[in-house]
């Protein structure tokens, strides 16, 4: 199965509303890949439900992580520090988010178009997963007008304008897959906390490495994997800041 987009590249696109990403078609006889690609006809999409699966604070936190990376690259250290601090605060708030759910990473199947993240969690260890972004993807080859409509649908989804999402997908006219970016809350909270500590010590290189660890931890799954639950354990959960 060809991996079309790295996690880092996809998340940069995510901060701008996700790029239009083709979803890899399952190879003949590849049942596991087929299960991970849940396609829907355009007129069956419920954009309000799909947007509702995402964490508002989680989306903003990850956008800030990506912006902080850019700021560090541009030697805008003060701006990076502010973005990191805001990301850390939002992740702490998201720990109580009803959108977070508990599952072991190896119990979920990544979408074939992205594959496994570069940095994986320990096998069998339950973690809190936070939906930090979503996109619609297709397997069919699209005409230019359809490509534009799909890109517009993903921009409108990011903005929460679900009525326009459905209008855009009507123009797309083919089956789509809803892909969700999941962040392992314990792991990335530790990464962002370490980045903040490194910034306090003027160690921008280590701060950038910590932020990259967070980006490398994102898991892309089919939207039907995401259970919108309210685990009571999340409210009592104490965020771990142990080194990766």
Token pair 């290189």: residue? 205
Residue 168 in this model has a pLDDT that exceeds 70: yes
- The Cα–Cα gap between 212 and 146 comes to 34
- The Cα–Cα gap between 244 and 38 comes to 33
Q: Would the pTM of this model clear 0.85, i.e. be above it? A: no
- The Cα–Cα gap between 158 and 78 comes to 27
Q: Which one has a higher pLDDT value, 37 or 68? A: 68
Q: Which token pair is 188?
A: 């990335």
**Confidence (pLDDT) at 33:** 40
7-43 per-residue burial string, b: 16 or more CB within 10 A, e: under 16: bbebbbbbbebbbbbbbbbbeeeeeebeebbbbbebe
Res. 90 pLDDT band, cuts 50 70 90: very high
Number of domains in the chain: 1
Residue 16 in this model has a pLDDT that exceeds 90: no
Residue 244 in this model has a pLDDT that exceeds 60: no
- Tell me, yes or no, whether 130 lies in a domain: yes
**Segments forming the whole domain that contains residue 163:** 7-21+33-236
**Confidence (pLDDT) at 195:** 98
Instruction: Compute the average pLDDT of residues 50-73.
Output: 94
pLDDT tens digits, one per residue of 180-221: 999 999 999 999 999 999 999 999 999 999 999 999 999 999
- Tell me, yes or no, whether 197 lies in a domain: yes
- Tell me, yes or no, whether 2 lies in a domain: no
Q: Which token pair is 122?
A: 């320990």
Instruction: Compute the average pLDDT of residues 157-176.
Output: 86
- Tell me, yes or no, whether 28 lies in a domain: no
- Tell me, yes or no, whether 83 lies in a domain: yes
Range of weakest confidence among 31-35, 97-101, 173-177, 208-212: 31-35
pLDDT tens digits, one per residue of 117-158: 999 998 899 999 999 999 988 877 888 999 999 999 999 988
- Tell me, yes or no, whether 162 lies in a domain: yes
**Confidence (pLDDT) at 226:** 76
Q: Which token pair is 46?
A: 């419920």
- Tell me, yes or no, whether 26 lies in a domain: no
Range of weakest confidence among 19-23, 42-46, 212-216, 232-236: 232-236
Residue 172 in this model has a pLDDT that exceeds 60: yes
- Tell me, yes or no, whether 177 lies in a domain: yes
Res. 8 pLDDT band, cuts 50 70 90: very low
Q: Which one has a higher pLDDT value, 85 or 100? A: 85
Q: Which token pair is 192?
A: 């962002």
Res. 239 pLDDT band, cuts 50 70 90: very low
Residue 150 backbone phi and psi in degrees, to 5: -70, -40
- The Cα–Cα gap between 58 and 91 comes to 6
Q: Which one has a higher pLDDT value, 103 or 10? A: 103
């Amino acid at each position: 199965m060809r991996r079309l987009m790295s996690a880092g590249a996809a998340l940069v696109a995510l901060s701008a509303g996700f790029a239009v990403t083709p979803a890899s078609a399952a190879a003949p006889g590849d049942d596991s890949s087929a299960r991970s690609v849940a396609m829907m006809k355009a007129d069956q999409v419920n954009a309000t439900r799909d947007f509702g699966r995402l964490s508002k604070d989680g989306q903003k936190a990850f956008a800030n992580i990506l912006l902080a990376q850019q700021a560090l690259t541009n030697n805008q250290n003060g701006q990076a520090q502010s973005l990191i601090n805001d990301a850390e605060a939002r992740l702490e708030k998201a720990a109580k988010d009803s959108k977070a759910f508990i599952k072991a990473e190896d119990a979920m199947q990544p979408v074939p178009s992205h594959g496994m993240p570069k940095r994986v969690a320990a096998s069998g260890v339950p973690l809190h997963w936070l939906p930090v972004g979503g996109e619609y993807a297709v397997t069919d080859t699209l005409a230019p007008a359809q490509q534009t409509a799909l890109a517009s649908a993903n921009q409108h989804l990011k903005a929460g304008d679900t009525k326009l999402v459905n209008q855009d997908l009507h123009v797309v006219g083919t089956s789509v897959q809803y892909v969700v970016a999941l962040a392992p809350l314990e792991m990335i909270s530790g990464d962002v906390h370490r980045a903040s500590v490194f910034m306090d010590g003027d160690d921008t290189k280590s701060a950038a490495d910590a932020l990259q660890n967070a980006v490398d931890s994102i898991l892309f799954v089919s939207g039907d994997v995401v259970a919108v639950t309210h685990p009571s354990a999340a409210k009592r959960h104490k965020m771990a800041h142990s080194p990766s």
